[in-house]
Copies of this chain bind each other. A is one copy, B any other.
Amino acid sequence: MERIEHHASFGGRQEVWQHASATLGCAMRLGVYLPPAALAGQACPVLYWLSGLTCTEQNFITKAGVQAHAARHQIIVVAPDTSPRGEAVANDPGYELGQGAGFYVNATQAPWAPHFRMEDYVVHELPALVEAHWPTTGRRGIFGHSMGGHGALTLALRYPGRYASVSAFAPIVAPSQVPWGQKALAAYLGPDTQAWAAHDAVALVASATERLPLLVDQGEADEFLASQLRPELLQAACAQAGHPLTLRLHPGYDHSYYFIASFMADHVAHHAQALIATAATKA
């Protein structure tokens, strides 16, 4: 692990690290916000952010305004890149596949399978790395935007007990049913749509054994709302399964980081309630 950026921020520190990922077979960068308590050596919970299509680790740390809220609640926030990277890594000319578009799955198909293992990276390698390097309580939350909202919802649903809290901004809730998801899942997982269902939040909610409450914010002026996001499918699936969902539709808001920043305080507070209240109960 090599630290390549560090900036004082809201009494804590925003850092960027690079490491050689064994899971992905390439160098990976991640943003790490350390709140004041972490800098003082106190154990903090960790909230993982998964970004959307085309993003690196930079978009979230520079535009979302998370640091003020993470400092207030004393939560470490970790934001990885969105895919493996580099000349040796397969790519696609489209922005919705390949580098910048890992979709948080383990690819089984050529040419993607050797490097595109973002599920294993986010669920296993990244927390091990983080928890070995910084003082953490061991409690984890996960959230994200768009493709990263899909990642947060599906990973929380696929790994019961691993995340104490989950939320999403404008997530792809049903990748099996929309063009972005269909292209990516077909490429990474092959044509068998049964394999896709294991990475589709709407499908996963139907069979979830843990009823982790979902917080989802969605802008009603989002240019991808009707074509790619379709939150009504998640609403129907949660209603049918009895899965707790808070879906907030915001008139006028689009798909940008202006939308994300506007509701960031609420999301961090949502995670803090689960990550810190439970830690206090345990203590």
Residues of A within 8 A of B (CB): 7-11, 13-14, 62-63, 65, 67-68, 219, 221, 250-254, 256-259, 261-262
Contacts and interface: CB of A to CB of B under 8 A. Distances in A.
Contact of A62 (B13, B62, B68, B252): B62
A104 to B, nearest CB: 25
A8 B253 contact: yes
Given A9-B259, A9-B262, 4 more contacts: A7-B253, A8-B252, A9-B261, A13-B252
Contacts of A9: 258-259, 261-262
A11 B262 CA distance: 8
A65 B65 contact: yes
B65 A68 contact: yes
A217 to B, nearest CB: 12
A65 B8 contact: no
A47 to B, nearest CB: 18
A256 B7 contact: yes
Given A8-B254, A221-B8, A252-B8, A261 B67 contact: yes
A271 B250 CA distance: 30
B221 A258 contact: no
20 contacts: A7-B253, A7-B256, A8-B219, A8-B221, A8-B252, A8-B253, A8-B254, A8-B262, A9-B258, A9-B259, A9-B262, A10-B262, A13-B252, A14-B258, A62-B62, A63-B63, A67-B258, A67-B261, A67-B262, A68-B261
Closest 4 CB pairs of A and B: A7-B258, A8-B252, A9-B258, A8-B253
Given A219-B8, A254-B8, A62 B63 contact: yes
